[in-house]
Structure 1
């Protein structure tokens, strides 16, 4: 049987190989791939794709010299722009706009040459940068939405290799420390790698069959989930398998017993994570909605590998895979007082005190949310400073009271003149000019008087949307507004769906209402505390200028789904002990003692895999990785060990209400008949 399973996996991986290698080809990181499905800015991007030449690439070439530009600088700038216009098909003739102090000169440049081809767009931006050169004190940078998109694309393209290698290295190091074996750590790591390869093939199939969007962010998160969740399942299975090998002689029979013992918990926990991630399909934001199916694919591929391939390999390798700590048949592990035994003891002695102290601590940490910085601007999304960001910073300093980033208005062709006049009469508009026309639509480029992504420009965009009935207002700044508004909407919709779905799964699994409510309340508290810690460090310690609008929703979904994951491990073992006749308090302490080490190891691995994101050069990924890693650690070492155990001890059998475990064993006891008095010996006189 193990050989058959191994052969089937080899065949499956061979079939998936051609598709897995193509996943990078369908990865898209254009703005429209992240934008809300129904927003104005999305409609603008889609209509621009149908205009002559497709979506335009907007750039701004910025010339700057401290102390003021010379006549030679201006002549060199004009010559370079002329070369760019001669080499590429531009929309309109670029006009130089000098700053008031004469130290900066900007040339807005737009081209429809690349259309929807990201590689062609990147090549265009690269060529413009090659032509626009400075020197001798003259700095030249290329910014604008097109250049920012190119810089972001380069970052995402560079993530795949480093993300995979770093994640694998972190997991390998932790497994070596956990297992203390020179061989055992290789098995789950190799199986996780195969699961990741399979998930790439399945993700490509979803893209081709159902149009599921694949972005750099979603594919990176999928890899993190495969290694993180997969290693967690492996830790639980290997721990139970080691127990059974001491009890059962044949490895095959021991593995069957291990799968029967922990299989239901692993299935339920993975099902909970998958259900939570699939709730993202209700999101309106394209990036969030696409992450749901890809994350689910990662979790399910990890589950399939760890419940089939991993057991087969372990059985084939036999007991020697555990060397030098081989579990001998009939042996008993050394009795020692573990950390979790001590923690359980304190929870048993003063459960209400522990609960109150934990609640106060989590509540205090959650107050840090009030210190979270505002919405993250596009140019602040990088941890380093690429060329496009340098250009935008120069523009912000040189043109503090002027818009430097075009606002795109798409209007029906027959109403172009009327719309143009209405735009010019809108408060906050500096200039507007008609651009491309085609497919029944006309594009109008608008510059606001206020700087990009400022309160003044936001007011101008909202005024245009209110005033221009039947037209769409888009562009880079409008996209940021739509991202923020849609994330707020998605939180209101997705969060209740996630809570309800997870709660229903827990009720069905644990045959209780109280226990699921405790688990869900605990993970929500962890989410608030983790976000609060983020608020305390993002700006003061990391120097981040803003918070990604999607951080709240994505961190909630992952922390609730993954946090409940560990709760299932603990509560499932607690339920087993209760079914065996143990009292609830004793069952809770036994469950903590027997699963605490595994849960701690799994939590460390999962936190470490998400912490890998903090080494990436994009602020949204760093923030997401930090919050999830901190949340998992809080959940592992505070909530699961202390708070859930304390709540179970304090509530006793009521934790399983209204299930049968909430009642005394055997139901009401019948009255015991009084014993007949024994005959007394009467002394004979």
Structure 2
């Protein structure tokens, strides 16, 4: 009695009925009904509770960049000391007034009237300055402190309306500075709950309808993704509300995309197994058991690999990175759980009707799954069989050529004014400000120095070419340096007596107005020079402010990238070794993933610089791109190679490679299309960082699924042969 292949990677005797599944009558009917119904009800209840939290994310999220810096960062230390010198945690709004023909005395009087009216606004926390007219008389600026606890978008809108009503008709009003840029960023993330989710779900639905040529099945898969997202969001919201996690707009967007994309990918893998089993068995309970048994290991391994890669972000110094790790990991965990519980329960309840109108019929005489055929993937497998070395060498060479574009990727940071794509009032206001005042007005350098070293610390600022003016937070007027209405005492030339300062814990607060825009590379260089000078001459002095926050954020991102990338590679390599019970295969798979990532980054560098004209990239862009592409790329490696190993146990390695390619080719490309579409949806949020991540991951995933997993990996594995499983028994030809 010789064995034959059942189509699922198992051996079954040829005698009819021998070795078949136990009769379904052994499974109580009440259990077959109660178990899926209970699972569906549990998920339905979780989604019902978690759904309303989509509109409440802003209650527990923050886009304050200083909050994401490590406590050891100098900018963070200065930020923590500021309340000792100023009242509250106000965010300064810089108001710029301009007129085509210049400002008249009447214009200035009207502006001052509007500023006086703004003083009574609920969101204003402190003294509003009067209008300060530029030397050329064509513009004026004013400073309005807004409460840190206020809704910054609403506060700036109300302030703008108040000032615009009071200003003459030809006077243009623009709000810039920290409050202006924060408002722009908040507005950019406004569509993240509705627009982003709607675009992503629509794209996935269209792809699923094309793939399945059915309506009920795509809706079932989509419901699985949505339920997973609702329950994940409920969990994350509670953790953020208690302070365990820190959420931001970009974290929220990435969470939505990851959960929908991953849950759909896992669903595609399970549905393919389930459909195959419905052809080979008449009973849907038995088909469900077999499909779960075949899909459980690759889905669990795939999800665990992504989670492990994401949790490596916990090593980051930046909380914007370190908190994304557990947030996204929670989302992937629920995506995996939904694909292994909710989806099987729904499909078990629906049976073959879920596939209407292409209902899979029970056909005992059907050809074993993975057998040679003339389908697209059958022809691809034939090309791999005929010329494996030519295929993988050529593919690797083309990918290596694409890596050369990495030199075009400028990932050293971008100005805050460039974070929001499209029109930006804050950016416009900053440009107008720079035309008539020192470009750094409104976003000063904060220097905290011991009281005894006030004059020396001020002299360092005054002597720096990057500083236009120096002042100190003061209580009372000084005979040599009058204190203005906003409590700031101005310094004269180096060596002149200092104003009387506010002293907090033996320290004073100096403020330096930058000659360059506060978010520019030149301003960051000024901060670096000041810190170097103070470290030598006055070691106790700390330098902070908006420019210092930018500098510390970029430095921390570069440090994170250098540390986390090799750790992610090591973790994923270890997981692959455990999963495939081999060493050589995981090493080769990891190298192909790195090559694919390098190509994606190279193409992105060329597109960003020469096609889209982006001003550069945040240092975190390569890190996020690496974590997502490597983790998700390994996903497809796992889908392919677990099936190849399963088939190799029965048919040998080379035939197993071809059968695995035929069986998973359609699944992997469909999964890649879904994930690419969901990440592309991030581009609807007009934020530079998300647009760049959208391109890198979408392009990289398509490259992975259509080139690397379809040609490079199968051809390389076929060429190496059974040695690819070294040192396992499979490498010695023992199944």
Is the pair's TM-score, using the shorter chain for normalization, greater than 0.5?
A: yes
Among 646, 658, 668, the alignment partner of 2:727 is 658
Classify 1:359/1:104 alpha carbon distance in 2 versus 1 (closer, same or farther; 3 Å).
Answer: farther
Partners of 1:188 and 1:601 lie apart in 2 by 13
Q: What's 1:457 paired with?
A: 523
Report the alpha carbon displacement of residue 364 of structure 1 after superposing the two structures with TM: 1.9
- Please tell me whether the aligned partners of residues 41 and 482 of structure 1 are also in contact (alpha carbons under 8 angstroms): yes
Partners of 1:90 and 1:446 lie apart in 2 by 20
Partners of 2:361 and 2:85 lie apart in 1 by 73
Partners of 1:376 and 1:287 lie apart in 2 by 16
Q: What's 2:669 paired with?
A: 600
Matches within 5 A, 1:390-409: 390-399=428-437, 405-409=443-447
Matches within 5 A, 1:22-41: 22-41=56-75
Aligned positions, number: 660
Q: What's 1:105 paired with?
A: 140
Partners of 1:51 and 1:160 lie apart in 2 by 39
Q: What's 2:394 paired with?
A: 357
Among 533, 536, 546, the alignment partner of 2:616 is 546
- Do residues 168 (structure 1) and 201 (structure 2) align? yes
Query: Residues 55-88 of structure 1: CA distance to partner in whole angstroms, max 9, x if unpaired?
Result: 2312221122335334433333333334334654
Q: What's 1:676 paired with?
A: none
Q: Secondary structure at the match of 1:29?
A: coil
Partners of 2:561 and 2:38 lie apart in 1 by 46
Report the alpha carbon displacement of residue 515 of structure 1 after superposing the two structures with TM: 1.1
Deviates more, 1:249-258 or 1:337-346: 337-346
Report the alpha carbon displacement of residue 22 of structure 1 after superposing the two structures with TM: 4.7
Among 490, 510, 518, the alignment partner of 1:444 is 510
- Please tell me whether the aligned partners of residues 395 and 404 of structure 1 are also in contact (alpha carbons under 8 angstroms): no
Matches within 5 A, 1:12-27: 12-13=46-47, 22-27=56-61
Among 621, 644, 647, the alignment partner of 2:716 is 647
Query: Residues 117-137 of structure 1: CA distance to partner in whole angstroms, max 9, x if unpaired?
Result: 142x44442332123225644
Partners of 2:83 and 2:696 lie apart in 1 by 37
Among 444, 457, 461, the alignment partner of 1:423 is 461
Deviates more, 1:483-492 or 1:371-380: 371-380
- Do residues 320 (structure 1) and 353 (structure 2) align? yes
Q: What is the TM-score when the length of structure 2 is the normalising length?
A: 0.85
Q: What's 2:598 paired with?
A: 528
Classify 1:13/1:405 alpha carbon distance in 2 versus 1 (closer, same or farther; 3 Å).
Answer: closer
Q: Secondary structure at the match of 1:594?
A: helix
Classify 1:604/1:142 alpha carbon distance in 2 versus 1 (closer, same or farther; 3 Å).
Answer: same
- Please tell me whether the aligned partners of residues 43 and 227 of structure 2 are also in contact (alpha carbons under 8 angstroms): no
Q: What's 2:112 paired with?
A: 78
Partners of 1:41 and 1:176 lie apart in 2 by 51
Matches within 5 A, 1:18-417: 22-48=56-82, 52-85=86-119, 88-90=124-126, 93-94=129-130, 96-98=132-134, 100=136, 102-107=137-142, 109-111=143-145, 114-115=147-148, 117-119=149-151, 121-133=152-164, 136-209=169-242, 211-330=244-363, 332=366, 337-373=374-410, 375-399=413-437, 405-412=443-450, 416=454
Partners of 2:285 and 2:319 lie apart in 1 by 46
Q: Secondary structure at the match of 1:318?
A: helix
Query: Residues 243-294 of structure 1: CA distance to partner in whole angstroms, max 9, x if unpaired?
Result: 0001111111101100111110000000000000000000011111111011
- Please tell me whether the aligned partners of residues 447 and 510 of structure 2 are also in contact (alpha carbons under 8 angstroms): yes
Report the alpha carbon displacement of residue 21 of structure 1 after superposing the two structures with TM: 6.5
RMSD between aligned residues: 2.5
5+ long unaligned stretches in structure 2: 1-34, 475-501
Partners of 1:326 and 1:289 lie apart in 2 by 46
Among 491, 495, 501, the alignment partner of 2:561 is 491
Classify 1:524/1:430 alpha carbon distance in 2 versus 1 (closer, same or farther; 3 Å).
Answer: same
Partners of 2:454 and 2:601 lie apart in 1 by 47
Deviates more, 1:125-134 or 1:555-564: 125-134
Classify 1:104/1:364 alpha carbon distance in 2 versus 1 (closer, same or farther; 3 Å).
Answer: farther
Partners of 1:315 and 1:51 lie apart in 2 by 66
- Do residues 557 (structure 1) and 623 (structure 2) align? no
Classify 1:124/1:471 alpha carbon distance in 2 versus 1 (closer, same or farther; 3 Å).
Answer: farther
Report the alpha carbon displacement of residue 395 of structure 1 after superposing the two structures with TM: 2.4
- Please tell me whether the aligned partners of residues 21 and 201 of structure 1 are also in contact (alpha carbons under 8 angstroms): no
Classify 1:337/1:304 alpha carbon distance in 2 versus 1 (closer, same or farther; 3 Å).
Answer: same
Q: Secondary structure at the match of 1:540?
A: helix
Report the alpha carbon displacement of residue 522 of structure 1 after superposing the two structures with TM: 1.4
Q: Secondary structure at the match of 2:413?
A: coil
Partners of 1:309 and 1:86 lie apart in 2 by 55
Query: Residues 477-504 of structure 1: CA distance to partner in whole angstroms, max 9, x if unpaired?
Result: 2222122111110011111111111111
Classify 1:15/1:663 alpha carbon distance in 2 versus 1 (closer, same or farther; 3 Å).
Answer: same
Classify 1:22/1:125 alpha carbon distance in 2 versus 1 (closer, same or farther; 3 Å).
Answer: closer
Report the alpha carbon displacement of residue 402 of structure 1 after superposing the two structures with TM: 6.5
Partners of 1:106 and 1:638 lie apart in 2 by 56
Deviates more, 1:158-167 or 1:504-513: 158-167
- Please tell me whether the aligned partners of residues 134 and 437 of structure 2 are also in contact (alpha carbons under 8 angstroms): no
Q: What's 2:497 paired with?
A: none
5+ long unaligned stretches in structure 1: 667-685
- Please tell me whether the aligned partners of residues 438 and 468 of structure 2 are also in contact (alpha carbons under 8 angstroms): no
